[in-house]
Structure 1
């Protein structure tokens, strides 16, 4: 069975170890985070501090954009975009990795604490009962402070999340 995680598309391009999981993964990606890939690729602001790392990550971002723009994948995404909260059919990157694109809608539920992308990530995790992967400590702290009923793993704990994880019952969230 595939482990599912809600994640921003750029994190998959930024963190190479996410592309070599120890078991099958389904990355659930709000569509708005795919749109951010274009801004990051084409923007003048560095994505990474080191110039070589920045060039490498921009290349990975371009590869991910090409994957999402593949005609079959684009068709699946366009179908999901017809209704709020619809999930695309699986977009297969490899035998181990697939993406599910969600037409997430920011309803300002957490507007005081989170920006629109963060809100979409939280709502997606909550609606689908899927844990989040994040590299932003401040975001994780605000999530706990706001008592948002979504499980979150730091990106550095990816292997633990894939192999063992914490059930939503243990975490005090809805049943798994």
Structure 2
């Protein structure tokens, strides 16, 4: 069974190594983060500091946008993502599976987290699956407000994939 992680779509575009893991992986992606791809892609602000890297990441983002905009895939998304917490799975290459989830932002944390952060947290809580992120300020806020989710920094992805820490080991006895 593949390891599962909650992640936003933009991170898959930025960190290409996530799409070529050493072991099978299933990424749970809130649908709203797929919509964000288009916003990032068309933004005049650079995504990456190096112009060549920025161009490459934008190409990956365009490919992802095209993948989810493909009539067959778009139809699957529209038909499958009707109710909250419904999902649809897309087998990908290199042992990667993308599972898109319809998440309802319930404003549980108000001003503490933005809507996308809230959706990522709710997905991790609902499926008891760890988050993968590169945002240290968000990690700090998750810890500060004692949000009951497990997360890994992007730099620890290989550890999370190969060994990780069992969720039961994190729970109090």
Shorter chain as normaliser: what TM range?
over 0.9
Q: Structure 1: 5+ residue runs without aligned partners?
A: none
Cα displacement (A) at 1:71: 2.7
Does the 8 Å contact 2:3/2:26 carry over to 1? yes
TM-score by length of 1: 0.94
For residues 43-84 of structure 1, the C-alpha deviation after alignment (integer angstroms, 9 at most, x for no partner) is 111111111111110001001111212233222211232111
Q: 3-state DSSP class of the match of 2:87?
A: coil
Q: CA deviation at 1:95?
A: 4.5
Question: Which residues of structure 2 form unaligned runs of 5+?
Answer: none
* Mean CA deviation greater in 25-34 or 93-102: 93-102
The runs of at least 4 consecutive aligned structure 1 residues that moved more than 3 Å come to none
Equivalenced residue count is 172
TM-score, normalising length: structure 2: 0.95
- Does the CA contact (< 8 Å) of 1:30 and 1:103 recur in 2? yes
SS at match of 1:109: coil
RMSD: 1.2
Could you tell me which residue of structure 1 aligns to residue 168 of structure 2?
Answer: 169
1:52-67 equivalent positions in 2, closer than 5 A: 52-67=52-67
Question: 2:136: which partner in 1?
Answer: 137
Cα deviation, residue 36, structure 1? 0.5
Match of 2:9 in 1: 9
Cα distance 1:17–1:95, how it changes in 2: closer, same or farther (>3 A)?
Answer: closer
